[in-house]
Structures are given as structure tokens and as C-alpha cells.
Structure 1
Amino acid sequence: MKVYLKNSGYRALINSTVLSGIGDSLYNIVFIIYAASVPNKSLAVSLASFATLLPSLLSVVTGSLADQTHHKAKSVIIVRMIQAALFVLLAGLIKLPQSFPLFLFLLLINIVSDTIGSYANGLTLPFLPRLLPEDELNAAFGLETAATTTVQIIFQGLGAALIVAMAYNYSAFAWINAATFCLAILPLKLTWPRLIKAEKEIPLSQKPDQSLLSNIADAWLELKKHSFILLTIALAVIINFLGASMNGLINVALLGERTMWLGNYGNTVALLDIILSVGTILGSLLMNDFLKNSRLLTLLLLAGASLAALGVSFIWHQALILAAVSLFAAGYIAGKVNPRISALMVREIPNEKIAAVSGFMQMSVLIGAPVGQALFLSIANMQTPQVSWILFTILATLFIVLCALLTQNKKLVMNER
């Protein structure tokens, strides 16, 4: 929190991100509800849910473009203005009689807005090492993770409640989203001289005219120079393969595990989601705790251990407390791992390539999610959820062993700073 209070440039970037995130969190849940009311609602909800992943899958493209953009601060403001204009358009169109073609067009607007928003996030990354000393980067990324996670939890829940209270006035929510994008410009303008000064220190891309594919290839070649970061990404893909499957598998397993219900099914699912989110927030904020000096490999090992314990809690029936503790631990450790990886990349990757490399990492890690979900949920439906949890626990245990072996490699340990 100290870094937020004393550094006006960093504070402006965080405030801008939070303000735009408020609108996104409100509207994403509302748009899912809207999708459930259109013709072919099952397909519409599936498309709306998948659309939230698409900007992340395209992050390597938007990151590459961000690296080639010279006037980064000005470009962030232009993007926010375009996003606001898109939602003004959406606010008018969504009043039209519902139809599936109209839904697809509204979905396209949402995807374009989220994708250029990802581009804007890539534009801000090179500012951080210019605004902050190296020893404050972990805390800075931790606070950003905590802020965005908190906003997502609060405003998704608020959106689901408000849309009912406002008699499903989807247009009003689109106007709110447009307003938050406009408000997100204000913190940047208030510290404009500081941001422009920092921007002048950012190295310009040395190959501004090369093709997008060449830029992505450069990101991969740059990543290969940093063996520890490359290893970290590989481990993150594995842990996300397991972690991204966790919520869906919990939801399916709880249907047949009434002994683990706290009152009813809905309350139990909501409680476990909240516990995971609270753990993530606290892990991101409490940077000076007992894990402060732990190596990244050690944190990943502990993440694997928490997932293995979660698997055991569902294999061993009537273990809601163990499931809750395991989810809190998983969230708490994730709240430390994600900022640590971000800070490591900002320190090690050249500024002119950082957005493309970050996008490549985000896309790579995300690929594990649908594969894991398809595997574990298919087994849960074709066999039983318990069979899925047994496989889940075995794989988590193998991940623990892998991390334990890697921590014994002195060369790898020395590569982490």
C-alpha cells in the first residue's frame, strides 16, 4: 500500500485500471444474463462465456502491437475513448427486439472492446520499471492483482443483483460501462507530466516495421534467452491445467456430495468461490509475510500441494473444512505467484519486448485451461467425479515431485533473482 500512496504515477495507472475494470466486471456478468434470454440461449451463453477468454488468447498479438506503439500514454487514452464509444453504440442497439444475429453483433462489440483493452494493458507495462524501483515491483504487482480481483468479486455480484433491481435494463449497464471508461482517463490526465517523463525513458522498438509474426517470433527468441522464465511458464501451464479445472469439477462433484453442503448447493458453491478469492486478495496484499523470502519454485510446489489436498478432500467424503482450507491456500499462493512472475518479467525482459513476451506467456498459460476442463469434466460425466479427483490428485502430486526436484538444481535457483 505504501507504493500506492507515495508514487503518483503508479497510483494513476492502478486507478485507471480499477475504474475500467469496474465497468467490465459489471457488464460481463450482465451480458451472460442477457445471453440467457435470447433465442438459442444455450449456444448464446456458451459463446458469451468463451468470449471472455478470447482477448487473453489474442494477448500475444495485442502485446506485440503494444511494443511497437511509440506514444503509449496517448494511445491508452485513445483506447479508453474508443471503448466508451463502443458501449454507447451497444447501449442503443441492445434496446432492439432480441434476436440471435443481434446478439452476435453485440458480442462482437464486447470482444473488440475487451481485446483493445488488453492492448491498453500491454501499453502500460513498460511504465512500471520507469516509475518504481526494482525492489518495489513485487508489491506493486501484488497490489494490482488484489485490486483487480476485489473489483471483479464485488462488481460481478453487484451486477447480478442490480440487473434484477433495474428490471433488466441492459442499456443502462452499457451506459455505466461507457462512463467508467471515460472516468479511467481522468487519473492519467491528472498525472500526465509524470507519465510523459517516464515514457521518454522507455526504449523504442528497434524494428517498428517488421511483421506481426516476426514480432511474435522475436518474443519467443527473447524468452529462450531466459531459461528460468521459460521454465516458470511451463510450470504455470501445468498448474493452470489443474487449477482452471478446479471450479467446474467442484461444481459437478458437489451435486452428488450432499454431506459437504453448507445449507444448500448454491450456498456451498458461493462460499468456496469466495474463500478462493479472499485467499488471492490476501496473498497479493500481504507481501511481507512468512513466504516473503520463498523462491518461486517453492511457491509453485506449495500451490501443487494445496491442489493435491483439495483432491483428497473430495476423494475423502465429508471433508468440507479441508476443501475450504485447501482453496484458501491455493488462492493465497496464487496471489503471490502471479505478481512474482510479472515482476520477474519486467526486470528481465527488455522494455521494448515486454508486452509481446507477456502476451505470449498469457496465451501459453491459458491454453492449459480448456484442455484440463475438457479432460476432467469429461471423465466426471462419463465415469464419476471421484475418478476425476483421483486423477487430479495424482497429477498434482507428480507436479509437487517435479518442483521438488527442480529446487535441488542450483543453477536454476541462481537464475531467479
Structure 2
Amino acid sequence: MNVFLKNKNYRKFSIASFLSSAGDILFYLAFMTYASKLQNYSLALSLIAISESIPRLFYIVGGYFADRTKNKYRNIVLAAIIRFMLYSIVGFLLISNLSQWNLVIIIAGINFISDIIGTYSGGLVSPLIVNLVGNDEFAEAEGFTNGLGEIVNVSAQFIGSGLLLFLSYSNLAFINALTFLAAGLLFANVGFKQIFNKETKTQQDESVNDQNFIDTVKSSYQQAKKEHGLLTIIFVMAALNGSLGSMNALVSIVMAANRSTMIISSYSFTLAIIGVVGSCGTALGSMFGPQLTKKLSIFSVTNFSIVIDVCAIVAILAANIYLILPLFFLITVTASTASLKLTQWLVSSVDRTVLASSMGLLNTIVMIAVPVMTTVFSTISGTTNVKYALILLLLVEIVELVIAIRLSMKTKKTEVEISTSVDSK
């Protein structure tokens, strides 16, 4: 929070991100509502879901091109302006005479292009924030932004559902476009000041990657590999996120089968409570986790998170919603804290020239784990029984915990040996 309040340029960057994110959510709700009223709504909603999910797999590609960008401020402003133009086109399309299905297909395509540009823009943001706040305060800055962003996103969902009562779909598309324009102006304001800062300009010139894509990925991998335990903890964190995604899918099945012990008021209300509890946990963990766990290693926080995961699976097997909710809250708090510690470790371990690519690789690994694990355990649940899926997930979590504990002990042993070697010299 201190970084947000004291660093004016970083504060503008954060507000720009909040604006574009909130606008995206407003339009997403509007687009989903529009598609849900079509005759073949299932196909339309699936098409939208695909257009939203596929771009998330391109984080590493977006990061690679961001690393190769010399004038990052100019391009992040340009990306915002292009997205402003794209959603302005969407606004005009929604008041045109095109058939509903043609509109859905075209808008889904535009949304896909916008999200691809968003992966590139996101890659540009990380190195620029490091330049603005420094390596040491990056985790605190990123954590506060993520936490506040989570609150903004939840608020935007409620605001969006309210705006749909008296605003048209095209109006919400124009509002989304204007949020990108406002974000672009804020980026431009910060960038204009940084252009005349010789030290910052030198840092940007020096942090341009000139390797091809394969060499960049290899470079990111090799640099991460030098840090003992970093690669392993990345995969442990990916599995942890995948497990959480799987639990969210399986708990809804358990709710349907055990309404007397799992439902609070109604099925939809219970799902909403679970979502809000998770969002609150992520927000609090992101905003305050790094400060509260400064003396704890990422291994300790990860181990604790996995232990809570195991307890949550047991609670789901017991079909007790009042045990599940506080455990879900603790999982999201600890998982978001561990994620930020991992990001901080990565930022301090790799060269600035491949920072965005490394961040993209990290995000890609984490993003792939969620749909893969969710699909596997949901399939097991659908073909056999949800209890078998939960028991298998419990075994996976126990394996994760064993790996994490062994890694923690091995890392501590290595640190002691290095410390002893240095003292002897």
C-alpha cells in the first residue's frame, strides 16, 4: 500500500489497469447476457468462453514480443488505443442491422484479438513497473495492485449487472472502449515523464531482448534453473492452482448431491458465496500477504497452503459447507501470497531483457495447469463418482506436500552449506 500511496507514477499505472479490467468485465457480462438470449445459447456461450480462454495460453508469446520492444511506453499506449478502437467498432456493430449470430461471431473475434493484444500489453507492464518501483518493492506493489484489482473486479460484476437494467449492450461496449482510452492517456502521462528521465531511458534501452523465441525460452529456463528450487516450486504452485480449480468444479457437484448439508439458502446463492469468499481471500493475500510473511520463505507458505488444501478436500468429502468456506478463504489467502513471493523470486533471478518472457512462461504454466487438472478430475467424476475424483485429488495433494517439504529441507541445507563455505573463506 505504501508504494501505491507514495509512488505517483506507479499509482497512475495501477489506476489504468483497474479501469481497463473493470471495463472488460462490464462488457463481458453484457456480451454473455446478450448471447444467453439466442436460440442456441449453449453454442454461443461456448464460443465466447473459447475466445476468452485461448489468449491466456499466449502469455509467453506476448512476453517475448514485449521483451523485444524498445519503446515500451509508446507501445503500451498504442495497444490501449487499438483496443479502444476495437470496442468502439463493437459498440457500432451492436446498433447495426446485422443478424444476432453474425454479431456474436464477429464480436467474439474482436474480443479474441483484443485479448491477444492484452497479453502483449501485460508483458510490457511488468518491466515498466520494475523500473518504477524497483526489484525490492515489486512484490508489495504487485500484491497491492492484484488485491485491489480483485476488489474492483468483484465490484464491476455487481455494477455491470445493475447497469444492464437501464443501459444498452452498445452503451456498455462504448464504456469499455472509453476505459481503454483513459488507460492509454494515463500510460502516456507516465511515459512522457519517463522519456525525459535519462536513467530510466537507459534502463529501457538496455532491457531489450534480441534473441529469437526459442533462445529466449531457453534463456529464461536456464536462468531460473540456476536458482535452486525455483523451477520445482513453479510446478508445485501450478499444481496448487490446478487443484484449487478442480476443487471449485467438484464442490459444485457435491453441492447438487448433498443439498441438506451443502446449500445455504439456494444453490446459486451458495456458489456466489464461494466466489466472493475466494475473491476476498485473494484480495487480502495479495494486499497484505507479502508484508505479513516477510520472515517466512516461499516454501513455508506453500507447504501451509497445501496442508489447507488437504483439509478442504476432506471437508468436501464430508459435505460440510461451513468447513469448506473458511478453508477456501485460507487457501486463496496463502496461495496468492505464495504466488507473489514466487513472482518476486523470479524478478530478482532473471535478466531484465527476458523478464516479460519469464513472467509469461510462469503464467502459461500456471494457466495450463488449471484447465488440464479440472478437465481430468471432472471427467473422472462424470464417468465414475465424485468421491473417487476427490480421493485421487487428495492423493495428488499429498504428493505435492511431500515434494514441497523435501524441496524446502534441501534448499535450507544448500543455504547452510553456502553460508558455511563463505564464512570459512
TM-score, normalization by structure 1: 0.92
- Residue in structure 2 matched with residue 301 of structure 1 by the alignment: 303
Structure 2 residue identity aligned to 1:228: G
**Which of 284, 287, 290 matches 2:286?**
284
- Residue in structure 2 matched with residue 157 of structure 1 by the alignment: 158
2:272 is aligned with 1:270: yes
Distance 1:287 1:112, change over 3 A: same
Query: Residue 176 of structure 1: CA displacement?
Result: 0.5
SS at match of 2:204: coil
2:347 is aligned with 1:346: yes
Query: Residue 269 of structure 1: CA displacement?
Result: 0.9
Cα distance in 2, alignment partners of residues 206 and 185 from structure 1: 22
Distance 1:336 1:72, change over 3 A: same
SS at match of 2:265: coil
> Are the equivalent residues in 1 in contact too, given 2:284–2:333 (CA < 8 A)?
yes
Which has the larger displacement, 82-91 or 43-52? 43-52
> Are the equivalent residues in 2 in contact too, given 1:146–1:285 (CA < 8 A)?
yes
> Are the equivalent residues in 1 in contact too, given 2:140–2:291 (CA < 8 A)?
no
Cα distance in 2, alignment partners of residues 126 and 324 from structure 1: 37
Query: Residue 121 of structure 1: CA displacement?
Result: 1.6
Structure 2 residue identity aligned to 1:315: L
- Residue in structure 1 matched with residue 315 of structure 2 by the alignment: 313
Structure 1 residue identity aligned to 2:189: L
After superposition, residues 185-334 of structure 1 pair within 5 angstroms as 185-196=184-195, 197=197, 198-204=200-206, 208=210, 210-258=211-259, 259-287=261-289, 290-317=292-319, 319-334=320-335
> Are the equivalent residues in 1 in contact too, given 2:247–2:313 (CA < 8 A)?
no
- Residue in structure 1 matched with residue 420 of structure 2 by the alignment: none
Distance 1:243 1:287, change over 3 A: closer
User: What whole-Å deviation, never above 9, does each CA across 1:300-351 have from its counterpart, x for those lacking one?
Assistant: 112211211111111113x222101110001111221222222222222111
- Residue in structure 1 matched with residue 170 of structure 2 by the alignment: 171
- Residue in structure 1 matched with residue 180 of structure 2 by the alignment: 181
- Residue in structure 1 matched with residue 133 of structure 2 by the alignment: 132
Query: Residue 160 of structure 1: CA displacement?
Result: 2.8
> Are the equivalent residues in 1 in contact too, given 2:70–2:204 (CA < 8 A)?
no
Query: Residue 86 of structure 1: CA displacement?
Result: 0.1
Structure 2 residue identity aligned to 1:72: K
> Are the equivalent residues in 2 in contact too, given 1:16–1:184 (CA < 8 A)?
yes
Cα distance in 1, alignment partners of residues 177 and 375 from structure 2: 35
User: What whole-Å deviation, never above 9, does each CA across 1:139-185 have from its counterpart, x for those lacking one?
Assistant: 1111011022112211123223322x036x21111100001001112
Distance 1:161 1:248, change over 3 A: farther
Cα distance in 2, alignment partners of residues 217 and 47 from structure 1: 34
Query: Residue 20 of structure 1: CA displacement?
Result: 0.9
Cα distance in 2, alignment partners of residues 218 and 326 from structure 1: 39
Distance 1:139 1:206, change over 3 A: closer
Aligned length: 412
TM-score, normalization by structure 2: 0.90
2:134 is aligned with 1:121: no
- Residue in structure 2 matched with residue 148 of structure 1 by the alignment: 149
> Are the equivalent residues in 2 in contact too, given 1:315–1:389 (CA < 8 A)?
yes
Cα distance in 2, alignment partners of residues 139 and 283 from structure 1: 11
- The runs of 5 or more residues in structure 2 that have no matched partner are 417-425
Query: Residue 41 of structure 1: CA displacement?
Result: 1.9
> Are the equivalent residues in 2 in contact too, given 1:303–1:333 (CA < 8 A)?
yes
Structure 1 residue identity aligned to 2:92: G
- Residue in structure 2 matched with residue 385 of structure 1 by the alignment: 386
2:90 is aligned with 1:90: yes
User: What whole-Å deviation, never above 9, does each CA across 1:338-379 have from its counterpart, x for those lacking one?
Assistant: 222222222221111111111111111211112111111112
> Are the equivalent residues in 2 in contact too, given 1:61–1:216 (CA < 8 A)?
no
Which has the larger displacement, 199-208 or 359-368? 199-208
SS at match of 2:296: coil
Cα distance in 1, alignment partners of residues 327 and 311 from structure 2: 6
Cα distance in 1, alignment partners of residues 34 and 174 from structure 2: 15
> Are the equivalent residues in 1 in contact too, given 2:139–2:344 (CA < 8 A)?
yes
Structure 1 residue identity aligned to 2:119: S
Cα distance in 1, alignment partners of residues 209 and 11 from structure 2: 31
Which has the larger displacement, 388-397 or 106-115? 388-397
> Are the equivalent residues in 1 in contact too, given 2:35–2:44 (CA < 8 A)?
yes
User: What whole-Å deviation, never above 9, does each CA across 1:39-61 have from its counterpart, x for those lacking one?
Assistant: 53212212212322222201111
Query: Residue 206 of structure 1: CA displacement?
Result: 6.1
User: What whole-Å deviation, never above 9, does each CA across 1:355-406 have from its counterpart, x for those lacking one?
Assistant: 1111111111211112111111112222222222222222212212221121
- The runs of 5 or more residues in structure 1 that have no matched partner are none
SS at match of 1:293: coil
- Residue in structure 2 matched with residue 19 of structure 1 by the alignment: 19
Distance 1:334 1:98, change over 3 A: farther
Cα distance in 1, alignment partners of residues 318 and 176 from structure 2: 45
Which has the larger displacement, 148-157 or 37-46? 37-46
Structure 2 residue identity aligned to 1:299: V
Structure 2 residue identity aligned to 1:182: L
Cα distance in 2, alignment partners of residues 189 and 206 from structure 1: 20
Structure 2 residue identity aligned to 1:31: F
Distance 1:194 1:29, change over 3 A: same
Structure 1 residue identity aligned to 2:345: L
User: What whole-Å deviation, never above 9, does each CA across 1:187-220 have from its counterpart, x for those lacking one?
Assistant: 2333344433334323445653x54444444433
SS at match of 1:134: coil
SS at match of 2:294: coil
Over the aligned positions, Cα root-mean-square deviation in angstroms equals: 2.2
> Are the equivalent residues in 1 in contact too, given 2:139–2:290 (CA < 8 A)?
no
